[in-house]
Amino acid sequence: MHALYLLNTTATGGFMGNTCRYVINAVGKGGETYYTQCKDKKEMEEWISEHQDRIVMEEIKVKDKNKHPLLKLFSK
């Protein structure tokens, strides 16, 4: 039961209330690393548009945490 408790914690320390869907990893033009979480597609697109002058667009990776596991296998 303790392991399940740890799996349900969010990165910010909350429990079972994880509302972020998209995880963004990006590399900045100066070599810095960006990591953020967005709750929906609109918020994700806004973050990307606000930071597009600072990040390398070819190096951005977006992970959809709600994507079905079978679709994850075939989309690689």
Q: Where are the domains of the chain?
A: 22-64
Is the pLDDT at 2 greater than 90, yes or no? no
How many CA atoms within 13 Å lie on the side-chain side of 13?
A: 0
Is the pLDDT at 50 greater than 80, yes or no? yes
pTM: 0.66
Is the pLDDT at 8 greater than 50, yes or no? no
